[in-house]
Amino acid sequence: MIVTVGLEKRYGRVKALQGLEMHVPERAVYGLIGPNGSGKTTTLRILAGLLLPTAGEARVAGYDVLRQPYEVRGVIGYMPDFFGVYDDLRAGEYLEFYAAAYGIRGRAAKKLCDDLLELVDLADKRDAFVDTLSRGMQQRLCLARTLIHDPPVLLLDEPASGLDPLARVEIRELLKELCRLGKTIVISSHILSELADLCTHIGMVAEGRLLCEGPLNVVLAAAQKRKFSLRCHGPVAAALEILAGWPGVEILDQVGSQVEFSLADGPEETAALLRALAASDARVVHFAETEQSLEDTFLRLVREAQG
């Protein structure tokens, strides 16, 4: 649904994007993850037709962003990281204003806006002035605005930014519903724990480059080193000696009788290590693999990319 090839963007001597290669399948919820200044917003603005790339290509739903900008704008809904709302308009009027911009007026516009307000759980706020809405409600209203022309692709830049925990949950559930409706969604965010629960695919970017991308479970499995926790009854010297000499082991932390380490190899090597520990003087009372988070994987990949 979305493809970029060798995408570059320079601001003077600053390289915001450096050969970005991105592939978003149809109906995916694609999380674009990266630290501040990594090129996430620049990428979304290029895909939305708001910025021209310095080099490279980008296609959305088969349309070339450079050669077919009007067609691209017809198939996307873009929600920026910072947006303005018209404080002197009511929520219903706000949506009807944008419906008119797409040539939808009269009864058709009213029904469309009522349906969208229902979708984002703001039906009871139709006559409320926009400036009286909470930030979370304003976010949902702006998301409704992006859906006015029923675009198949949504580009959302930090949609949960600045929201309290409850409002973030509401936005997340709304995005899940849009996914069930068949939308292809690209979300730029640094709230990694929420993306892990929401996204089907992820792309990790740093310094304008894509570090990795693909289905969430595949990326995590390929990028992660398996982590383990070990605890001894008494001194850990014998266990540390075995771990230090074992191929593929990296000792991460040791506090008292507990040791955390990573192991690059698979289950057979893990079983062999456990047998070696059991046959030694190490009095191991706990040995378990620990689950890694999306944050762990992302931080490790960024550190590796930065040298």
Give the model's pLDDT for residue 166: 83
Span 229-274, pLDDT tens digits: 999 998 899 999 999 999 888 898 889 899 989 887 778 888 999 9
For 225-291, CATH number out of 3.30.2010.10, 3.40.228.10, 3.40.50.300, 3.30.70.250 equals: 3.30.70.250
The CATH architecture of the domain made up of 2-220 is 3-Layer(aba) Sandwich (3.40)
Element (H, E) at 302: helix 294-305
> Whole-angstrom Cα distance, residue 251 to residue 240?
8
Q: What is the pTM of this model?
A: 0.78
Cα(262)–Cα(289) distance, rounded to whole angstroms?
9
Amino acid (one-letter) located at 200: T
Q: CATH 3.30.70.250 region(s) of the chain?
A: 225-291
Q: What is the three-class DSSP state of 218?
A: helix
Question: pLDDT-based confidence at 131, cuts 50/70/90?
Answer: confident
pLDDT score recorded for residue 100? 94
Mean of the per-residue pLDDT values of the chain? 88
Instruction: Give SS3 for 255.
Output: strand
Q: Where in the chain is the domain with CATH 3.40.50.300?
A: 2-220
